[in-house]
Amino acid sequence: MSQQLAPTKTGVLYRRFSGRFIRTTVTAGGKRKDSIVMPWLFLAIPLALLITFTYIPVGNMIWYSFTSWDGLDQNKEVVGFDNFVKIFTKPEYWQVFAVSLYYFAASFLQMGLALYFATILSFKTRFRSLFKGILFFPYLINAVAIAFIFLFFFRPGGTLDAVLSFVGLGDFSTQWLGNPDVVNYSLAGVAIWRYIGLNFVLFLGAIQSIPGELYEAADLDGANKWHQFRYIIAPGIQRIISLSFILAIAGSLSAFELPYIITGGANGSETFVIQTIQTAFVYRKVGLASAMAVILLIIVLIVTWIQRTVVPDEKVSLAS
């Protein structure tokens, strides 16, 4: 059947290529059929993996969320919206979202600090690359290593207590990870320590891609450093700030790794993702956990959608 269809299809296909190319297809007739199959040969493995490990899990997850499945049973009993109703009506399930607020607030502090350091390092500075390297390096460290570094940092008599008593503030010591009033501040602080380097390097890169003549012109016009920041740097890095903002929201909603390793979610530090994972793999309520994951997925999609509408992407382009 393809005998008849192929010439017309390939005709459309090849008209899109340049004139020189069409001539080769006329002579090398055998290649025409190839070109219809060829893209799919190249795409077979990538598409199979994409569908198997992204779309099937998402689809299954939505399906599980309407069942009371325990993850083992042959039969999955459909329970309608019961799981969702349970999550929204039982405070213990949705309260954990409050913990995200600590991380969310922290990410603003993190962006502010990153912007500050990026700005001052974009001007002439001694030991510039040394400072840049030091501020960035924590971002590269293994998650478990960071978690252990801060277990040591916050433990009674640990680094933080020692530093505090060294500067004469020893009275402020508390159970940094054991006190439910403090633990989320401690953990949000670790998140800042870990991720600030990424923000900082992104901001610095964006600032440095601003043409140098702009500063020179501003200098001639008598602009001071603040004016330069306000009218040259700030507009120049708008896109990267909006992107960081979205990463901050998504990141604080799905905060997981560090609190999971450091406290295991104890003392009021349980995040929504920790709760989801525990519900699925410890309490074996896969249906309920799937409903939680679906809710998180929907929130993240909405947030991303808002960001894309508010700040449209200038067609995937990198300033490099």
* Dist. CA 200–CA 111, nearest whole Å: 8
Cβ nearer to other proteins, comparing 37 with 101: 37
Closest approach of other proteins to the CB of residue 307, in Å: 11
Can you tell me which of 49, 109, 217, 266 binds other proteins, judged by CB under 8 A? 49
Cβ nearer to other proteins, comparing 103 with 117: 117
* Dist. CA 177–CA 175, nearest whole Å: 5
Closest approach of other proteins to the CB of residue 56, in Å: 6
Contact between 17 and other proteins by CB under 8 A: the answer reads yes
Contact between 52 and other proteins by CB under 8 A: the answer reads yes
End-to-end CA distance of the chain: 48
**Which tokens belong to 155?**
């433990």
Contact between 54 and other proteins by CB under 8 A: the answer reads yes
Closest approach of other proteins to the CB of residue 181, in Å: 22
Can you tell me which of 87, 96, 115, 135 binds other proteins, judged by CB under 8 A? 135
Q: What character string, x for contact with other proteins (CB under 8 A) and - otherwise, covers 112-131?
A: -x--xx--xx---xx--x-x
Cβ nearer to other proteins, comparing 47 with 85: 47
Q: Which of residues 218-277 bind other proteins (CB under 8 A)?
A: 225, 240, 243, 247, 250, 254, 256-257, 260-261, 273, 276-277
* Dist. CA 262–CA 270, nearest whole Å: 11
Long-range contacts of 154-161 (CB under 8 A, 24+ apart): 154/186
Cα–Cα–Cα angle for 233, 235, 238, nearest 5°?
Answer: 105
Cα–Cα–Cα angle for 281, 283, 284, nearest 5°?
Answer: 60
Q: Which of residues 284-303 bind other proteins (CB under 8 A)?
A: 286, 289-290, 293, 296-297, 300-301
HSE, side-chain direction, 13 A CA sphere, residue 55: 7
Contact between 173 and other proteins by CB under 8 A: the answer reads no
Contact 103, 109 (CB under 8 A): no
Can you tell me which of 7, 11, 112, 133 binds other proteins, judged by CB under 8 A? 133
Cβ nearer to other proteins, comparing 144 with 217: 144
Which bin fits 319, alpha (ψ -120 to 50), beta or left (φ > 0)? beta
Say which residue the tokens 């001052």 belong to: 120
